[in-house]
């Protein structure tokens, strides 16, 4: 089932932006940042990734209408996880060097720099791929948007229980938009219409239209 191809050989590095950014072909035999695992644990990680991907799809469908930003972050994480999972599960079998679930993840983005932090010398960032970028961006987007829209709604709307009490008391209400004192934000609030003094006077008149205070002479 091996596939013949002409391309970069393992370990080859091609400069793109001088020596700072290169395409370097490596195979990650473990998980993130080249951490190697026991083969059995590696299979377990792949199975957990499959289950987690199914859960992410389900959860995205639940929140996409309420929080599109968080759903987008989850979509990025899902795309990255599935990309690396395909490499880990199928790559070895497709190219004939390992059975299913024992393949290696291909990494190729290589950033090279020369930094000395408190005596600790760093010459390059761990080589990564597009899937890693998607996961990292997804986590950042999820951190920004998760719970944000729900918090705004909770802060600005009257609860269903409060509306039920208003309806029981016979007070009509509708939705208005209120701007805070500094004029920086708007939020939906409930505007309550109370009976006016004139309406009270009218409602106190007798049904037959006669003035009970007037005495006939």
Report domain extents, the chain: 13-153, 160-203
Q: Best-predicted range by mean pLDDT among 112-116, 126-130, 188-192?
A: 126-130
Closest to 68 (Cα-Cα) out of 176, 138, 149, 134: 149
In whole angstroms, what is the distance from residue 116 CA to residue 28 CA?
26
Greatest Cα-to-Cα distance within the chain, rounded to the nearest angstrom: 119
Whether residue 197 is predicted with pLDDT greater than 50 in this model: the reply is yes
- At 177 the pLDDT is 46
In whole angstroms, what is the distance from residue 67 CA to residue 144 CA?
11
Dihedral of CA atoms 15, 18, 19, 21 in degrees, nearest 10, equals -70
Closest to 80 (Cα-Cα) out of 8, 138, 149: 138
- At 206 the pLDDT is 55
pTM: 0.64
Average pLDDT over residues 105-114: 91
**148-154 LR contacts (CB < 8 Å, sep 24+):** 148/67, 148/69, 148/70, 149/66, 149/67, 149/69, 150/66, 150/67, 152/187
Closest to 149 (Cα-Cα) out of 63, 41, 214: 63
Q: Which tens digits make up the pLDDT trace of 182-192?
A: 555 555 555 55
Whether residue 17 is predicted with pLDDT greater than 80 in this model: the reply is yes
Active-site hit among 87, 107, 174, 216: 107
pLDDT category, 2, cuts 50, 70, 90? Answer: low
Average pLDDT over residues 138-142: 95
Task: Determine whether 132 is an active site residue.
Answer: yes
Point out which residues pair with 186 in neighbouring strands.
179
> Cα 87 to the chain's mean position, in Å?
24
- At 169 the pLDDT is 56
How far CA 102 is from CA of 37, 63, 69, 79, 210, in Å, comes to: 11, 34, 35, 20, 96
- Cα torsion angle, 85, 89, 93, 96, sign: positive
Arithmetic mean of pLDDT over the chain: 77
Task: Determine whether 180 is an active site residue.
Answer: no
pLDDT: which is higher, 107 or 179? 107
- At 33 the pLDDT is 65
Active-site hit among 132, 174, 208, 216: 132
Whether residue 54 is predicted with pLDDT greater than 80 in this model: the reply is yes
Whether residue 53 is predicted with pLDDT greater than 80 in this model: the reply is yes
């Amino acid at each position: 089932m091996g596939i013949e191809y002409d391309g970069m050989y393992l370990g080859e590095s091609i400069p793109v932006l001088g020596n700072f950014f290169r395409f370097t072909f490596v195979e990650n035999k473990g998980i993130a940042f080249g951490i190697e695992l026991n083969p059995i644990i590696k299979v377990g990680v792949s199975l957990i990734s499959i289950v987690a991907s199914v859960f992410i799809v389900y959860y995205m469908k639940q929140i996409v209408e309420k929080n599109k930003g968080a759903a987008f972050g989850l979509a990025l994480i899902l795309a990255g996880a599935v990309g690396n999972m395909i490499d880990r599960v199928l790559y070895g079998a497709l190219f004939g060097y390992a059975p299913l679930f024992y393949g290696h993840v291909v990494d190729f983005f290589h950033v090279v720099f020369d930094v000395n932090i408190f005596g600790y010398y760093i010459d390059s960032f761990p080589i990564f791929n597009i899937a890693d970028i998607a996961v990292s961006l997804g986590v950042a987007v999820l951190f920004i948007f998760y719970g944000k829209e729900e918090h705004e709604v909770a802060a600005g709307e009257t609860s269903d229980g409060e509306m039920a009490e208003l309806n029981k008391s016979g007070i009509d209400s509708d939705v208005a938009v209120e701007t805070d004192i500094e004029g920086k934000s708007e939020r939906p609030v409930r505007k309550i219409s109370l009976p006016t003094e004139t309406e009270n006077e009218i409602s106190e008149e007798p049904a037959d239209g006669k003035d009970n205070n007037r005495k006939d002479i």
